A and B are shown apart, each in its own frame.
Chain A
Amino acid sequence: MELGVTLRKLKEKFGDWLFDVGQAFGDDFFVAHKDKVVEISRFLRDDPDLRYNFLIDITAVDYPQRRPRFEVVYHFFSLPFKQRVRMKVPVEENHAEVPTLISLWEGANWFEREVWDMFGIRFSGHPDLRRILLYESFEGHPLRKDYPVNKRQPLVGPKIS
């Protein structure tokens, strides 16, 4: 399969830190080691041939059967070259922590807070890692697969479960 310029460049530069590089359903993706998240993102943003200037989204997926359990998913978009790329970062459950991207994109702030809220993945170096969609007294992280869909934790009113 012919790799696009983004993936080729990444492979050249960060070959040892990438677990997988490829194309699926028309999307470019690569799986990276979590220690290199910031460097890779900076490279994507600043390299004159890539210029991924938009951090479109940060989210995560929970695979309870897999080791490592979580996968943090980043989507980048390059307006000058009209390209999209997806970065996936596997994260262990008992050490669920990824470096934050706030130093590169301020928009990462809220996205990372949401991932923390929903999945319980920490972002090291994040200045304000609080819950964003739920309330502080909420226990657990609802988008994990082991959180029951209707386990309620009401603040007022009857405590039904």
Chain B
Amino acid sequence: MRNELMDNVETSTPVSTNRMRLSIGPSHPATHGTVKIDVELDGETMVDAQVEIGYLHRAFEKSCEQGNYMHPIPYTDRLNYVSPLICNFGYAQAVEKLLAIEITERCKYIRVIMSELSRVTDHLTCIGASAMELGAFTVFLYLMKAREYIYELIEDVTGARLTVSYVRIGGVKADFPWEFEKKTRLALRKTREVLDEVDRLLTKNRIFYDRMRGVGVCTPEIAIQYGITGPFLRSCGVNYDVRKVTPYLVYDCLDFEVPLGIQGDNYDRYLCRLREMEQSMRIVEQAFDRMPKGEINVDFEGRPMSAAEMRDLSKFGATEGLLRRSVNAEPTLAGSERVFSGLVNIPERKVMLPPKEETYSNIEGLMNHFKMVMTGHGLRPPKGETYTAVEGANGELGFFVVSDGTDRPYRVRCRPPCFPTMAALPHFLIGYSMADLIPTFGSVNMIGGELDR
């Protein structure tokens, strides 16, 4: 009945429509990050879309060329600031490949665990933000609560919530703290509860389903044409996950699945991310089970001195009894002591900084440290170039590092995973109604830092 009426209206009075141009961004609540999308509207339908990026260009690649090989690590934190640890490890892996060094087994597990935790935070944020934009504010609050659990874990290990700079070439900054495994398992349990709640709130929610299903459809052909990777590619059924296809670290010993979608629409992408988090948590738990355990207990009975105390004593010439006494590192450096460091980091002194207590207490350690961080000294990979890919939260995150044999990287190139996806964005917008822009854009999970670098 209603349709008939509509038909009549259309045939009797043809409405002349003017096309309208609308700019969304660069500062718009739905463009989390800064990007500008110029759409052309015919009524409610988008007929053209232009994406303009670069508003967060911070010269990552140029900055990396300015210092030594450790210098880019803090910059890599800020590439994908939702999952900084993966970027950290990706960069370190590229340099390690140049140096042809193999990190220790325990360190590999640590890196796997931390990457997967990071991936969970990334997907939590992505789902939370895109659900919020569709009006599901509760979901956002729930997911942020879950993210907070994991941030606390990350903070325990790295000392920072977001900008972690946890990796070192040849190892990591510090081993896991006391009882970390227990805390992690608890946090994962709580996260699972939240995810379960969110699943019940969203997955079969009529409004959510209608807004997501069949919207922003991406075909495998388009995805491959553009070089899209990650959950976005997998949601259209292409099974490409760097962790499976070209395994790095210890991913080949762990048992996990790669969730695939069928239709390649927003809903599939949402489901892929949701399932992927579960897989990530499985990986973390398995890694804890399989991780080579070391004797990680610091003997407090021996009463090592504090570094400051030792320094003060030696200032007044009382160096007699100081020889070979062990020292406590500063509390802020907890976890980087000799016992920890020996287990996790490679013993190669040309690559790793020495444990902090050695830096503070003996001349060899101090000189070692000094040589590593001075301009003109430090790490010198042989001449050459490598490309290393890891599975970032958004897809293949690659680092192309060129060394000219000096202590500075000649060129560091980051292959940003959401760059191709943003390039293809108009394909997922054109033909849909204006309101569909929000969920589609949300499911791209654009991260300004890695998109514009």
Contact = CB atoms under 8 A, between A and B. Distances in A.
Q: Do A and B bind each other?
A: yes
B386 A56 contact: no
A107 B416 CA distance: 13
Contacts of A57: 227, 387, 398, 400, 413, 415
B226 interface: yes
B384 A25 contact: yes
A26 B384 CA distance: 11
Given A133-B54, A143-B61, A149-B66, 9 more contacts: A27-B385, A61-B385, A61-B402, A62-B411, A82-B246, A84-B389, A107-B424, A135-B54, A142-B62
Interface in B409-453: 410-411, 413, 415, 419-420, 422-424, 452-453
A134 B62 contact: no
Given A61-B410, A82-B245, A110-B419, A56 B398 contact: yes
Interface of B: 53-54, 57, 59, 61-63, 65-66, 97-98, 100, 224-229, 238, 240, 245-246, 384-387, 389, 396, 398, 400, 402, 410-411, 413, 415, 419-420, 422-424, 452-453
B138 to A, nearest CB: 37
A56 B415 contact: yes
B332 to A, nearest CB: 31
B384 A24 contact: yes
A129 interface: no
Contacts of A54: 224, 227, 229
Interface in A80-96: 82, 84, 86
Contacts of A84: 246, 387, 389
A75 B226 contact: no
Given A107-B226, A110-B419, A110-B423, A59 B413 contact: yes
A53 B240 CA distance: 12
A34 to B, nearest CB: 19
Interface of B is mostly: mixed
Contacts of A131: 54
B225 A73 contact: no
A86 B387 contact: yes
A56 B246 CA distance: 14
Contact of B227 (A56, A61, A133): A56
A134 B54 contact: yes
Contacts of A135: 54
B384 A149 contact: no
A3 interface: no
Contacts of A27: 385-387
A134 B57 contact: yes
Interface centre among B238, B384, B385, B453 (most CB of A within 10 A): B385
Interface in A112-161: 118, 131-135, 142-143, 147, 149
Most buried by B among A62, A110, A111, A131: A110
Q: Which of A79, A133, A149 has the most CB of B within 10 A?
A: A133
Nearest to B245: A82
A98 interface: no
A57 B400 CA distance: 10
A26 B240 contact: no
The 9 closest A-B pairs by CB, nearest first: A107-B226, A133-B54, A110-B423, A107-B227, A133-B57, A57-B415, A25-B386, A59-B413, A106-B225
Interface of A: 24-27, 53-57, 59, 61-62, 73, 75, 79, 82, 84, 86, 105-107, 109-111, 118, 131-135, 142-143, 147, 149
Give the interface centre of B53, B229, B411 by most chain A CB atoms within 10 Å.
B411
B223 to A, nearest CB: 10
A25 B97 contact: yes
Nearest to A54: B227
19 contacts: A25-B97, A25-B98, A26-B386, A53-B224, A57-B398, A59-B415, A61-B410, A61-B411, A75-B400, A79-B240, A84-B246, A106-B225, A106-B424, A107-B225, A107-B423, A133-B53, A134-B57, A142-B59, A143-B62
Nearest to A62: B411
Nearest to B238: A79
Contacts of B98: 25
Contacts of B226: 105-107
Contacts of B423: 106-107, 109-110
A146 B129 CA distance: 42
A11 to B, nearest CB: 21
Contacts of A143: 61-62
Contacts of A134: 54, 57
A107 B59 contact: no
A143 B414 CA distance: 13
Contacts of A111: 419
Contacts of B240: 79
A132 B384 contact: no
Nearest to A128: B50
Contacts of B245: 79, 82
